[in-house]
A and B are shown apart, each in its own frame.
Chain A
Amino acid sequence: MKFWQRKSDLSTPAEKPVTVDFSTAVSTTSLIELRNVVKAYQTPVGDFVALRGLDLSIDRGEFVAVVGKSGSGKSTLINMITGIDRPTSGTVLVDNMPVHTLKEGPMAQWRGRNVGVIFQFFQLLPMLSCLENVMLPMDFCNVNDDKEREVIAMHLLEQVDMADQAHKLPSEVSGGQQQRVAIARALANDPPILVADEPTGNLDSRSAQAVFHLFESLVAQGKTILMVTHDNELARRASRTITLADGELLDEHLAQVFPALPHDQLLVATRQIEPQTYAPGQVIIQAGDDPDRFYIVTAGKAEVLLPDRWGEQSVVATLQNGQYFGEMAILNGSTRNATVRAGEETAVSVVTLSPDAFHTLIDQSPSTRADLERTVEARAAANQRRSQQE
């Protein structure tokens, strides 16, 4: 899979309607939307800001991996979404529900029905059997009658391949099995969203794989999953990865383009990028101009134009979300050798970096420079081959 390709294009199945109806619900197109969310904690040594004006949108059916170092704000972020914690300022909308405005009691009920929470340490109640643990959310949220609860819980345990252990206590099954029961518990009230805080952090690699497969199948069934993880391999397999550093979201496209860059540098770069949008057919860079920005496509399609043997500009490549352009002239210290314009059909959105910021970024990461240089060489070679063919 090439780095500029979209990793997945999962369809969004019909959603189960949210059962708690609150008059304060706000209409938004995303399933989860955070707007300018700030979270600060008071500590004996002063205020600690865990989230700094976070904006984030997650659509239905997405499988989002949340990565970042310890203390970067990952857990705080998912606590905002589950309503476990409240923002100091900003708005958190989950399926149009302004979660941050709910009081504790309604919040618990809303969470129980709409968000399944999965913990690193499984957190099954030790005195209840696996089956009873799965029945518990239905009990608390008064979902289904007593007999149905047992049937549903058993069905969920079958789904996670734990039906034969249903009557055992958590202490009698392995960690991986406990986590599967915890996933079944999270699914008990059939919530549209699952939030997992390092669900594989305490599991061996085999159990971790099994849990991940389970997540993939749940996403295929239409669930939206947010998963905090330290495992880059697993994160890469999610449909989307968001990275947190020092309470801020790293630009996903920057992180995708420069995977080898340390988070603190990416954070500096994230702060320096400028988003821009071009109308269909609008020229973004013109061949022969001096290089003024480095571009990454975030939406729409950009067309790369080069003159053919007859001197006519023809489209030689189409760049999509996550692909970049404008790096060659900056790296070579030359003028632009190609024109790039917005596609004819839709507008194109890009984020851009100044040449100085771009140089600073790659100067601090020789491997990133090497990666880019290889890309430049590959693109130059492709151009050469194409002109020879012509």
Chain B
Amino acid sequence: MLRPRWHKVLRDLWGNKTRTILVVLSIAIGVFAIGMIIGTQVILQDDMNSSYLATDPANAILYTNAFDQELVYGVRSMPQVHEAEGRRSLSLRLQVGPDQWRDMNVDVIDDFDNIRLNRVTSEGGAWPPPDKTLLLERASLTLANAGVGDTVTVETADGKIAQMTVSGLAHDMNKPPAQFVGTPYAYITMDTLEWLGFGRYFNELHIQVEGDRLNENHIQEVANLVEEKAQKNGQNVYWIWIPEPGKHVANEAVQPMLLILGVLGFLSLFASSFLVINIINGLLAQHTTQIGIMKAIGARKGQIVQMYLVTVIIFGFLSLLVAVPLGALAAYGLTSYLAYLVNFDLQGFRIPLEAIVVEMAVGILVPLLAASYPVIHGAGITVREALSEYGLGQGHFGSNVLDRSLNWFTSKALSLSRPMRISLRNTIRRKARLIFTLFTLTLGGAIFVGILSVHASLLTTLDDALSYFAYDVGLNFSREYRIEVLQREAQKVEGVVEADSWIGNTARRIRPDGEEGPNLNILGTQAETNLINPTLVDGRWLLPTDTNVVVINTLVLKDEPDLKVGDTVTLKIEGQERDWEVVGIVQGVMTGAIAYANREYLARELNFVGKSSGLQVIAVDKSAAAQADLARRLQDHFERVGFQVQGTETTADLRQNIEFQFNIIVVFLAVMAVLIALVGGLGLTGTMSINVLERTREIGVMRAVGASDGAVVRIVLVEGIFVGLLSWAFGILAAYPIGKLLSDTVGLAFMEAPLNYTFAWGGALGWLTAVLLIATLASILPAWNASRLSVRETLAYE
């Protein structure tokens, strides 16, 4: 048989459903945030990596000149190599509109029914693709502007045009998602390759090592052995790519995002803890008399504490019932969205055990911790104190300078009406409650505006990054041409303001310990170029007189974090090691790791002085449509006069790709902003409900002396709005540093440098609207309830 005290606990919960729901939601929202984030992390990690590992990913890819199956057999027979496969990759141009072309990466697979590494799977349609047809990667459909059964037009580097049918879809997890890079992927057979006019050979050697496939050093050692073998075979290995072992290519981008979400989840949990403190405080304030009675009939403090802590534990469990399934659904929804973006399949809906364990800890322990002080303090009230509260006016007003100042300010300085004065003075009667409410709502506002500031900063950074690429259209040629010839021909096309070329190559840093770092691009440009508008982070930009100096972008620091201005760095370019002095660091935004050098000096070092295979053009009209049109006209012109154009790109496309990646971050941040706003709104609703409940008798007195329904509603509403406005003011003050901190964190996580911080004034105004709306909604229910009470009911309230 349940003891009467536990009956009381249960009936308290059931008896005041509004309060129970409010507390449960307050806890649930924090648990939901944590559950969603941990669930997302676990499912994403598990499914992304297991799907990835199921493709038998290559541990290393060697990029070489042409080779045939003999080399593959030879490498496969090496004891250190578990599996090897040859692939051919090439770039074609795909017609995506009447005058629109886009570069397309094509993988040539020797035997579609026996893919040994980096498995590509069928997603419908033909398999393998019949001759003269291609398979499109499933995430490339939008970019390719084509579907299964469509006939598309492709153009080879030497200008051959061919019509090909899209015979089916493929899924390839080993490539960055097409939309991330803005390039569609396609798959063809060797026969089709030959039909397109190419020789039947491979240029990529994919290997999987024996032994520890998660040990990057081991993989590097085996790759070096394979490189030696290939070189002995007469091959020229251009570079070796070792993907992060066991991790999907997008893992690196996803992890910092989840980390940031974790921080925001923690903050929302923090805010909801204050909410719990406030509501438990309110509950204990309402139960003061009951606590007094229980103590008067023999209850000890410990027994009262036990009863209310059990109440809190029940609140926690109820919140888990709400938050765990919702958190799991949200996690699955978020993961599905990410899976779509990253282009992998989930293994089905589930609630990860890790998420449940953390949610239970958070849902029970955090409220217990948050409530422990108010409960211990509230249960410590003496019987006399508990029973001596009578008459009007719980909460004190007028006993300190703040109260007296507000009193003077509202009555004398502002000459406010009496109901208005009541509202404003009521606001600060329960000071601890006001502080907790303000804290919750302020934190909510600060994070909300902070998140929008991150968004604004991302866009500013993006603008800065793209204004750094001051050109509008870029052309790639199949071979080098003299730069002045390219410039002269470009100027003949209408709408061109300026044209210039940079030269480029891949390089690898030789680290002080002799290890080779990953690939980076070395870009030779004129020091006083109009094509590049760098945002300097440290040091200086290039000077015309510079020789072996480089300016690196912040993305180089991701792999080479020890580099700083003034260092000497050894770069291996085309097999030759050269020393360069780092004179500056510029912001890098999703353009890869780049080291900039003086064009003339680099050209001399690379032995192609005055030549380039690329041309960058500055246009009169910088709109996306005009850029595309200019690209088409430039290509036409160059082809007409006999140049071999391999492809074109516009900065509008580039912007679209980068914006696509930025938007993922923004979506995640927005989810958290909404959660935080909810926490704040719940906090205010709870506070206003408790305030109104406590002042029921006062409301009765006001009604007895003639206050109308409208007047009662107004008094409560104005108080809520006043709290909202106060929190907004504090929130905006706190939003600036919080936004800066978030923005720096996001910047460092994604771009190795803080974002160019832009405070979201629009967001601040938006939050003002939201706060007014939240305050009104939070107060309207208690206000309406208050207005419905009869004088008799309110004065009889105990």
List A residues at the B interface (Cβ < 8 Å).
Answer: 44, 79, 82, 84-85, 104-105, 108-109, 111-113, 116-117, 119, 121, 123, 125-128, 132-133, 135-137, 139-141, 146-147, 150, 185-186, 188-189
Which residues of B (12-58) have their CB < 8 Å from a CB of A?
12, 15
CB-CB under 8 A from A141, the residues of chain B are 298
In the docked arrangement, what's the CA distance between A104 and B304, Å? 12
Q: Which residue of B lies closest to A142 (CB)?
A: B298
B607 within 8 A of A: no
Q: Is B430 an interface residue (CB 8 A)?
A: no
Stretch touching chain A among B222-230, B289-297, B567-575: B289-297
- The contact string, 1 if C-beta is below 8 Å from chain A, for chain B 76-103, is 0000000000000000000000000000
Closest to B381 in A: A104
- Which residues of A lie under 8 Å from residue B300 when comparing CB positions? 104-105, 108-109, 140
3 smallest beta-carbon distances between A and B, as pairs: A112-B298, A127-B11, A132-B4
Interface string of B330-373 (1 = CB under 8 A from A): 00000000000000000000000000000000000000000000
Asked if B299 is an interface residue, CB under 8 A from chain A, the answer is: yes
Closest to A123 in B: B293
A133 to B294, CA, bound (A): 10
Most buried by B among A127, A133, A186: A127
Chain A residues within an 8 Å CB radius of B296: 82, 84, 111, 117, 119, 123
Q: Is the CB of B303 within 8 A of A132?
A: no
Asked if A123 and B289 make an inter-chain contact with CB atoms under 8 angstroms apart, the answer reads yes
Is the CB–CB distance between A139 and B4 below 8 Å?
yes
**In the complex, are the beta carbons of B384 and A44 less than 8 A apart?**
no
Contacts of B297 in A (CB 8 A): 111-112, 116-117, 136-137, 140, 185-186, 188
Q: Which residues of A contact B294 (CB under 8 A)?
A: 125, 136, 140
Chain B residues, Cβ within 8 Å of A121: 798
A266 to B8, CA, bound (A): 48
> Once the chains are docked, how many angstroms separate the CA of A325 from the CA of B737?
89
What 17 new A-B contacts, CB under 8 Å, besides A136-B294, A150-B1?
A: A84-B296, A84-B384, A104-B300, A104-B380, A108-B295, A108-B299, A108-B301, A111-B296, A119-B293, A119-B296, A123-B293, A128-B8, A132-B4, A135-B3, A135-B4, A140-B294, A140-B300
29 contacts between A and B (CB under 8 A): A79-B383, A84-B384, A85-B382, A104-B300, A105-B301, A108-B298, A108-B299, A109-B300, A113-B298, A119-B293, A123-B289, A125-B290, A125-B294, A127-B7, A127-B11, A127-B15, A128-B7, A128-B11, A133-B4, A135-B3, A136-B4, A136-B5, A136-B294, A139-B5, A140-B297, A141-B298, A146-B3, A150-B1, A186-B297
Cross-chain contact B302 with A105 (CB below 8 angstroms): yes
List the A side residues contacting B8 at CB < 8 Å.
125, 127-128, 132, 136
The verdict on A85 contacting B384 (CB below 8 Å), with A108-B295, A111-B298 known, is yes
Do A79 and B384 have beta carbons less than 8 Å apart?
yes
The answer to whether A189 touches B4, judged by C-beta atoms less than 8 angstroms apart, is no
Shortest C-beta distance, A80 to chain B (Å), equals: 10
A139: contacting residue among B3, B12, B383, B387, CB under 8 A: B3
- Using A119-B293, A140-B303 as known contacts, say yes or no to A189 and B298 having CB atoms under 8 A apart: yes
A82, B302: Cα distance in complex, Å: 20
CB closest chain-B residue, reference A44: B399
Q: For A113, give the chain B residue with the smallest CB separation.
A: B298
| B618-631 vs A, Cβ < 8 Å mask (1 yes, 0 no) | 00000000000000
Q: How far is the CA of A137 from the CA of B3 in the complex (A)?
A: 11
Q: Across the interface, which residues of B come within 8 angstroms of A137, CB to CB?
A: 297-298
> How far does the Cβ of A41 sit from chain B's closest Cβ, in whole Å?
10
C-alpha spacing A186/B293, complex, angstroms: 11
| Shortest distance between the CB of A115 and any CB in chain B (Å) | 9
Q: How far is the CB of B139 from chain A (nearest CB, A)?
A: 59
Which residues of B sit under 8 angstroms from A119, Cβ to Cβ?
A: 293, 296, 387
> Who on chain A is nearest to B1 by CB?
A146
Known: A104-B382, A123-B293. A84 touches B387 (CB 8 A): yes
Q: Which residue of A lies closest to B289 (CB)?
A: A123
Tally of chain B residues near chain A (CB < 8 A): 29
Cα–Cα distance between A136 and B295 once the two chains are bound (Å): 11
Across-interface contacts of A150 in B (CB, < 8 A):
1
Q: Nearest-CB distance from A138 to chain B (Å)?
A: 9
Inter-chain CA distance A17–B28, complex, in Å, is: 52
Cα A44 to Cα B297 in complex, Å, equals 31
Q: Determine the distance from Cα of A136 to Cα of B12 in the docked complex, in whole angstroms.
A: 15
For the complex formed, measure the closest distance between the CB of B12 and the CB atoms of chain A, giving whole angstroms.
Answer: 6
Determine if B15 and A128 form an interchain contact, defined as CB atoms under 8 angstroms apart.
Answer: no
Cα(A133)–Cα(B384), bound, Å: 21
Whole-angstrom distance between the Cβ of B383 and the nearest chain A Cβ: 4
Q: Which chain B residues in 374-399 approach chain A with CB under 8 Å?
A: 380, 382-384, 387, 399
A79 proximity list for chain B (CB < 8 A): 383-384
Closest-by-CB residue of B relative to A134 is: B4
Closest to B297 in A: A137
CA A82 – CA B7 in complex, angstroms? 27
Complex CA gap A147/B3 in Å reads 10
Q: Which residues of A contact B15 (CB under 8 A)?
A: 126-127
Chain B contacts for A128, CB-based, 8 A: 4, 7-8, 11
Q: Which residues of B contact A85 (CB under 8 A)?
A: 382-384
The complex places the Cα of A136 from the Cα of B290 at a distance, in Å, of 12
User: Which among A82, A126, A150 has the highest number of chain B CB atoms within 10 Å?
Assistant: A126
B-chain residues with CB within 8 Å of residue A104 when the two chains form the complex: 300-301, 380, 382
Contacts of B303 in A (CB 8 A): 140
Interfacial chain B residues near A127, Cβ < 8 Å = 7-8, 11-12, 15
A140-B290 contact, Cβ under 8 Å, with A84-B383, A127-B15, A146-B3: no
Q: How far is the CB of B198 from chain A (nearest CB, A)?
A: 84
Instruction: Give the Cβ gap from B389 to chain A, nearest Cβ, in Å.
Output: 12
CB pair A109–B7 under 8 Å, yes or no, is no
Closest to A124 in B: B293
Tell me, rounded to whole Å, the shortest Cβ–Cβ distance linking B287 to chain A.
10
Known: A104-B382, A132-B7, A139-B5. A125 touches B299 (CB 8 A): no
Give the distance to chain A from B178, nearest Cβ to Cβ, in Å: 62
Query: A140 contacts B301, CB within 8 Å?
Result: no
Chain B residue nearest to A147 (CB atoms) is: B1
User: How far is B382's CA from A111's CA once the two chains are assembled, in angstroms?
Assistant: 13
Residues of A within 8 A of B289 (CB): 123
A105 contacts across to B, CB distance below 8 A: 300-302
Minimal Cβ-Cβ distance residue in B for A121: B798
B390 to chain A: closest residue by CB: A121
Determine the distance from Cα of A261 to Cα of B419 in the docked complex, in whole angstroms. 48
The complex places the Cα of A133 from the Cα of B290 at a distance, in Å, of 12
Min CB gap B393→A, angstroms = 14
Q: How far is the CA of A111 from the CA of B297 in the complex (A)?
A: 7
Cα of A276 to Cα of B392 in the assembled complex, Å = 49
CB distance from A129 to the nearest CB of B (A): 8
Closest residue of B by beta carbon distance from A82: B296
Are A140 and B384 neighbours in the complex by a CB distance under 8 Å?
no
Which residues of B sit under 8 angstroms from A126, Cβ to Cβ?
A: 15
- Determine how close the nearest CB of chain B comes to the CB of A236; give it in whole angstroms: 28
CB distance from A191 to the nearest CB of B (A): 10
- Cα(A283)–Cα(B380), bound, Å: 59
Most buried by B among A44, A85, A136, A141: A136
The complex places the Cα of A186 from the Cα of B298 at a distance, in Å, of: 10
Q: Using Cβ atoms and an 8 Å threshold, which residues of chain A touch B3?
A: 135, 139, 146
Once bound together, how far apart are the Cα atoms of A132 and B11, in whole Å? 12
Give the one of B296, B383, B387 with max A CB within 10 A. Answer: B296
Residues of B within 8 A of A132 (CB): 4, 7-8
Docked pose: A44 CA to B398 CA in angstroms: 11
* Candidate in B4, B8, B11, B15 with the most chain A CB atoms within 10 angstroms: B4
Cα distance A119–B11 when bound, in Å? 23
How far, in whole Å, are A127 and B8 apart by their CA atoms in the complex?
Answer: 6
Max chain A Cβ within 10 angstroms of own Cβ: one of B1, B294, B380, B798: B294
Whether the pair B293, A125 counts as a contact (CB closer than 8 A) is yes
Most chain B CB within 10 A, of A105, A119, A123, A128, is at A123
Closest A residue to B287 by beta carbon equals A125
